[in-house]
Each structure stands twice: as structure tokens, then as C-alpha cells.
Chain A
């Protein structure tokens, strides 16, 4: 079963606007969440994370929101730039699994100039 789901395979936004990428999870034991960005022919790179004790974490143009009751998190990018065009993966872990991550399917973000 897919414990972490990204239901939108792709998203297209205009430069300067907000990009919102969504992620849902089913395992209530997940307590740490991460977003990775992947460019073609490169490995995923860590973008931002959030612990379940928080509901928001911000780093520059990137903000992650966590809604534990809904088992939902989202990544907001404001303002979006063409260089943000990439595949974004949501990942989650639980303390008892050590550092094992469970990944979503990914969302291809395209930012149009």
C-alpha cells in the first residue's frame, strides 16, 4: 500500500506566482516529513523538512505546512521561478524505523516564464 501519496503527477504555474504541491500520508506513526527536489540526470536534493511538533516551517521562498489531523502536508513556493522546474518528492519517516524514508510518487513542477 502506498503510505505517502502525491496525487498530482504534474503542476504548471506562471513565473512569480505561488506553487502549491500536496502530499497525503496514511501512517499515523510518521512524525518527520521532508521535501526533495530532483532535476533530470541528477539525484534528489534535500529541500526542507518539518517535524510533527510543528505545523509550519519556512526557508526563504519555501514553506512547508503540516496538518496532522488531515494527514496532509503541502509545499508552497513563492514566488515561483523557472529554475524551480523539477520533480518534487515528499517523504516521511517514523522514529521507530530509524532513518528509513517512505517516498511519494513525485510531482513534476513546471514554472513558465
Chain B
């Protein structure tokens, strides 16, 4: 079984709709992250959370919000989707105290298309 899972794997939505992408992990890690990948731009950090009560903005947080419902769950919301949010979204986890510094483990990704 995968340690980091993301749902849905693919999603098509319309401009203005609110959508939620979900991430769950069984690695027992405290730290979780949301990234987006655009062609030619690598991965950009949207939000990250170091524990259940901690939420931090990343490089490109505008238009997004997150919720850390539990240690194992971290969801990303697009309040009002727009076409330039079409991208591949990845969730990741890390626990430097166990795994070594800054080694992050990624989920399989969610491909989002906003029409």
C-alpha cells in the first residue's frame, strides 16, 4: 500500500467552482506539504504544515487554502478555480528527526484541469 495517497487522481472542473484535493499518509510524519508542478517550472510550494496546529504559506499560496484535519490528513482547496490553476498537484511528507534532514516523500499527484 502507498504511504502517501492523493484523491482524486484526476479532476476536471469549471472556472469559479470550489474544489478540494485530499492527501493522506501512513508514514506517521508530522510535516506535510502541497506543491504544484507546471511544465518547465519544477515544483513550487503552495502551503506546508509542521503539525496539526501549524499552517504556513509557501511561494504561491494566493487562490489556495489548506486544512490539516489530523496528523495524517492535509487537504488543499481552490476556493474559486481559475484556468491558470490547471497543473499537477503533489502532496509530500517529511520527518527529519527520523529520516534525515529535508527528505520528503511524495504522493502520486492529482492532475487538475480548470476549464
Contacts and interface: CB of A to CB of B under 8 A. Distances in A.
Task: Give the size range of B's interface with the partner.
Answer: 20 to 34
Interface in A8-26: 9
Contact of A49 (B31, B45, B94, B103): B103
A109 to B, nearest CB: 15
B43 A89 contact: yes
Interface in A66-113: 89, 93, 98-101, 103-106
Task: Give the size range of A's interface with the partner.
Answer: 20 to 34
B42 A43 contact: no
B96 A99 contact: yes
Contacts of A4: 42
Given A89-B43, A104-B42, A98 B58 contact: no
B74 interface: no
A43 B90 contact: yes
A89 B42 contact: yes
SS of A interface (majority): loop
Nearest to B59: A102
A34 interface: yes
Contact of A42 (B42, B50, B100, B108): B108
A42 B109 CA distance: 7
A51 B102 CA distance: 11
B34 interface: no
6 contacts: A6-B42, A36-B106, A100-B58, A101-B45, A101-B104, A106-B42
Q: 5 nearest interchain CB pairs?
A: A43-B106, A103-B42, A103-B43, A105-B42, A93-B102
